[in-house]
Amino acid sequence: MNKLTGKTCWNCKAQLTNDDWCEICKAPIKDQHREEILNRSNNSESFKCWRCQGTTSGDVCGICGSPLTKIGLELLSQSKKRPSYTKEKESEETEKIVIFSPKDKQFIRVNILYSELIAIIRKNLKVMNSIITDFGPEIIVEVPKDKANYNNLEMEELLIKNNIRMLIKKTKSTVSSEEVALIQFFYWEPDDVNRRFAFNKIQWKLLLAALSLTVIMITGWLYYSEIFRLFSINKNIIVDIILYTLTLVAILITHELGHLIMQRKKKIKLTLPYFILLPPTPGLLGFFMLGTAGGFVRVTDPVRKRNDLFDLFFIGPLCGLVISIALFLVGCAFPYIVDKAILAPEIQDEVVLLTQFDPYLLIGKFLEWFTKTVGIAPLYNPETQFLFLHPVANAALVGIIINGLNFLPGGILDGGFMFRSLFGERLTKLFSFISALLVMVNYNTWLLGILIMFMPIARYKSPVTNEALPAHWSKYLLESLALIIGLCCLPLPISIFFL
């Protein structure tokens, strides 16, 4: 009697035919291999396949087609969704390839023959091996000396016409130790551009934008109502709140326009921005919250190159930071200055406490020094006077913080996408954790730090489809500059330096 009689697969419940893996869903039977798959969350780094011992990456082994992660198990279990065809059509369709559509979560039979696909690959690259897995054809090629070969291949008319996209990764050859490129295919039907602004697609974005605008106004009102309570300033608080709100909104729009410009240049489709609100918290000095963390966009079309993904997310905070610095310099010319002599001692104590929780930025202190040096800011004596920023300068300072922090490699920040495009998922997770800790230590930004730490990013990350094409060396220099800017824009309470 077969010793496997009556035993079923723990994953798909099919009848087992051998001791090593399930013939239906390819799940491993041995506990050691099962635990490896269930505990593996990172599928972007290379490791040895539990079944064929080949070096590979992804959710499914590119060599033997076995699952490597929980996602791979789920996808292989869905292989029953592959389209079937009748015997009458078998002769004409038997070679038509079937590939997976990640958008639809099903397999699609495309109108292209396997022989035609191989011919297209050979036209541009040297084919070393090819197999057909449950996810469609996988082809191993030599890494070309001329990177333009990749571009020529991805622009083939037959692939574009049939909505076939490629995943290209570098891996190690199982025959020799040399590096080769693994090409996998997936189906991706472009979104209908006419429905991009349909109400059901943008209703949540509009709601978040309206709530963010409201929270920004409330934050400005809380701050300036406190200033007007302490001082008798000959100003209109309504005007100040409006100036604060309009300035900060203009900075946020400039940031998003930067993404839009690069999107048009790179021909990459993005969603409208999702704005993140940081509502003021009740209690002592609750008005020192930023009110907003800006917004983030999602890529709705696969990005081919690391360079494109980096540029797409680098330009947004750069544009926002430039306009923030310009508005800060303008606002510094019109500060609110109050003589200490006209204030009661208890009021002076409150003001000192207030100023201790002002955002302390290295770049902010440099800009203050610059405005004094070139004569933009009026002279004042800190021994006998208090100085508070004009609403335009105050909103611009918030803009500097938001855009500067977006250069940090936090998971949901622009810098997280930039960092991921250069260094991969594993290193990004580590630096995202460090970034979250740095942002959380400050009273002004602790809520943003919590979002960076705990907001799930799996559905928001945008991997590149051609991982075999390296980023340009200049991107690494820009990333170094971005990290320096992010740290210089990281606010810390001034009192921390005296503890």
What digits encode the pLDDT tens for the residues 132-147? 877 788 888 888 888 8
Q: Determine the pLDDT at residue 47.
A: 66
Q: What is the pLDDT of residue 57?
A: 62
Higher pLDDT, 477 or 365: 477
Examine the pLDDT at 498 and tell me if it is beyond 70.
no
User: What does the pLDDT look like over 418-458, one tens digit per residue?
Assistant: 998 898 888 888 999 999 998 888 777 878 888 888 876 65
Based on its alpha-carbon atoms, the radius of gyration of the chain, rounded to whole angstroms, reads: 28
Q: How confident is the model at residue 497 (pLDDT cuts 50, 70, 90)?
A: very low
- Say if residue 319's pLDDT is above 70: yes
What is the per-residue pLDDT for 254?
A: 95
pLDDT at 194: 66
Q: Where are the domains of the chain?
A: 1-81, 83-187, 196-498
Region 342-370 average pLDDT: 80
Digit-coded pLDDT (tens) for 51-95: 766 666 667 775 566 777 776 776 666 544 444 444 444 444 456
Specify the pLDDT at position 459: 53
Name which residue leads in pLDDT, 291 or 260: 260
pLDDT of residue 80: 44
Task: Tell whether the model's pLDDT for residue 287 goes beyond 50.
Answer: no
Interval 375-388: pLDDT, tens:
888 888 888 887 88
Tell me the per-residue pLDDT of 267-286, one tens digit each, with 9 for 90 and over.
888 888 888 887 776 544 44
Q: Are 63 and 174 in contact (CB under 8 A)?
A: yes
Instruction: Determine the pLDDT at residue 135.
Output: 75
Residue 473 has pLDDT above 90, yes or no: yes
Please tell me the predicted confidence (pLDDT) of residue 372: 87
Tokens of 309: 């993904």
pLDDT confidence of residue 85: 41
Comparing 495 with 409, the larger pLDDT belongs to: 409
Mean pLDDT of 21-28: 76
pLDDT score at 408: 94
Give the residue, 489 or 34, on which the prediction is more confident. 489
Q: Is the pLDDT of residue 400 over 70?
A: yes
pLDDT above 90 (res 485):
yes
- Residue 494, pLDDT > 90, answer no
pLDDT for 2 equals 46
pLDDT score recorded for residue 196 = 67
Return the pLDDT at 431: 92
Q: Is the pLDDT of residue 262 over 60?
A: yes
What pLDDT score was predicted for residue 281?
Answer: 60
Pick the CATH number of 83-187 from 3.30.160, 3.90.1200, 2.60.40, 3.30.980: 3.30.980
pLDDT: which is higher, 108 or 49 = 108
Average pLDDT (333-356) is 79
For the segment 241-262, the average pLDDT, to the nearest whole number, is 92
Query: What pLDDT is recorded for position 173?
Result: 67
Task: Give the mean pLDDT of the chain.
Answer: 80
409: confidence class by pLDDT, cuts 50, 70, 90: very high
Given a cut of 80, whether residue 290 has pLDDT beyond it is no
